[in-house]
Structure 1
Amino acid sequence: MQFAIPPAAIAAVPVANSDAYFPVHRIYCVGRNYAEHAKEMGGTGREAPFFFMKPADAVLPVAPGSTGEMPYPPMTADLHHEIELVVAIGKGGSNIAAADAMQHVWGYAVGLDMTRRDLQGEAKKLGRPWCTGKGFDHSAPISPICPAQQAQLQPSATISLTVNGGPRQRSTIDNMIWNIAETIEHLSKFYTLQPGDLIFTGTPEGVGAVQKGDLLEGAVDGVGQLRVKLV
C-alpha cells in the first residue's frame, strides 16, 4: 500500500514482565460508573453510565517502575485527575453477552482519565461534545498492561490515588455500577469491539485539581501501579 504521507506510529502500551507492546486501537471511557462520583458531579448516583472516547494516541505509557511525565495541557486552569481500572480487549465482537464477556479480556492496567474540567463544564452548559475536555494530548496516562492470566484482580480490589503523598481517591471496584462484564456487554451493543481496544471503566469519588509539579500515584490491587508527574 502506498501512502500519500508517512503514516503515524501505532500507539502502544508496554506489557508487564515482557518485551512486548499492546497496540491500541480505540479508547472507550465509561462516564459516572461509580455512584459516589456521579453524586459529586451533580447526578443522582444511580443513573445508567454512558460512554465517551479518547483518541488512541492520547495514551501516555509509563514504563515499569518509572515515573511518567505529563505536560500540563494548554487552554485550562482546572486540570482534574480520575483514577481508573483499564480493561484491554484481546478478542473482538459485537453484542457480547455479559456471560461471555470475560473471554474477550486480554489484560488490565491502571489509568488516569485526565480532564480539563473547565472546558468540560463549559461544553456541558452549551450542550456540546466533551472532546476538548477529555480527548486532548497525553490525557490517558497508563501503566503497563498486566495479562489477565497474571493479574490477581479480585472483585473487591482497591483502587486508589494519592497526590504528593496525600490521599485523594479510594474505593473498591465492586462499587462500579456496571462491572467489567456488564460494561463490555453494553459497549458492544454500540460498537464492534476490536483487539487493541482499551476501556477506562470509570472513576470513584474524590476527583480534584492538580498543578504543575504534582506527583500522582495510582494503584489497583492485583493489577499494578502508576506514577505520573505533571511538568
Structure 2
Amino acid sequence: MIETIRNIYCVGRNYRLHAEELGNAVPTMPFLFGKPTHSLVEANGQEVILPGNRGEVHHEAELVLHIARPYEQGMRMEDVIDQVALGIDFTLRDVQSDLKKKSHPWLRAKGFPNAALLTKFRPFESVEACTAQNFSLRKNGETVQDGNIQDMLFDIPTIVAFTAEHFGLGKGDVIYTGTPAGVGPVADGDSLELVYGEEVWGNCTITLRS
C-alpha cells in the first residue's frame, strides 16, 4: 500500500492544546506542509531507524486519510476517502526550531527517511465512525498521546476541501490530520504502539543512529 502513495500532506497545529504546548499561535485556517514519499515507513513491528545526531526527534501521532478519487466540491467524504490509518509525523524538533527562527521551510525537520510512519490501512466508514474512537500512542507501554478527531480545529471535510483547492487532491494521496497534545522525544530502544480504540494497529522499535 505504501508503494502506491503519491503525495503526503500534513496538517500542522490542528489541535489547540498541541499548538499551545509548543508555544505556537492557534491558526485561523488549515496550516499544511508536505513530506516526500521517501519518508514513508510501515509500522509492522520492525526496527525504525531515525537520526540520532540532529537533536531531539519528537513523535506526533495522527489519524491519516487515504484518498480514493479526485475531490470535487460538495462530494461526500465517504466518496473521497476509502481508507484510514494511524501514523506518526516524526519531527527533528531542534532543527525545526532553528528553521522557524530563520523563517525557512520545515522540510529538513519533517522530510528525512522514516519520518512518516504508517500502520496498515483500514476501511473508512464515515467521519462519525472515526469520532466514536479515540486514537493513542503508547511508548514503552505508557499512553503518551490520546486524541479524538472531534477536537480538531479544522474537521475532515474542511481539511479535504482546503487541500484540494490549494494543492490538488487525487487517488493515492494521504493526509496526516494533525496531532493532539503530548508530543515528546523518542529514545533509542523505545517501543511504540499506535492504538485505535483498544486495538493496536501498528508498532515498531526505535533505533537512533548517527
**Do they superpose with TM above 0.5?**
yes
Distance 1:123 1:168, change over 3 A: same
Alignment of 1:180-191 (within 5 A): 180-191=156-167
In the other structure, the counterpart of 2:40 is 59
CA distance in 1 between partners of 2:60 and 2:131 (Å): 20
Pairwise CA RMSD? 2.2
Alignment of 1:33-48 (within 5 A): 33-45=14-26, 47-48=28-29
Higher strand share: 2
Residue 194 of structure 1 is aligned with which of 153, 163, 170?
170
Q: Which amino acid aligns with 1:83?
A: A
In the other structure, the counterpart of 1:88 is 66
Contact 1:158–1:170 under 8 Å retained in 2: yes
Alignment of 1:76-155 (within 5 A): 76-93=54-71, 96-97=73-74, 100-149=76-125, 153-155=129-131
Contact 2:78–2:125 under 8 Å retained in 1: no
Q: Which runs of 5 or more residues in structure 1 are unaligned? A: 1-11, 14-21
1:110-129 deviation per Cα after TM superposition (whole angstroms, max 9, x unaligned)? 10000000111100000001
Distance 1:57 1:223, change over 3 A: farther
Contact 2:193–2:200 under 8 Å retained in 1: no
Alignment of 1:68-79 (within 5 A): 68-79=46-57
The percentage of aligned residue pairs carrying the same residue is 32
Deviant stretches of 4+, over 4 Å: 149-152
Residue 47 of structure 1, CA deviation:
3.5
Higher helix share: 2
Alignment of 1:171-182 (within 5 A): 171-182=147-158
CA distance in 1 between partners of 2:29 and 2:198 (Å): 27
In the other structure, the counterpart of 1:16 is none
Q: Which amino acid aligns with 2:201?
A: Q
Considering only CA atoms, is the larger Rg found in Structure 1 or Structure 2? Answer: 1
Contact 1:146–1:223 under 8 Å retained in 2: no
Q: Which runs of 5 or more residues in structure 2 are unaligned? A: none
Q: Aligned residue pairs: how many?
A: 207
Contact 1:151–1:223 under 8 Å retained in 2: no
CA distance in 2 between partners of 1:105 and 1:223 (Å): 21
Residue 32 of structure 1, CA deviation:
0.5
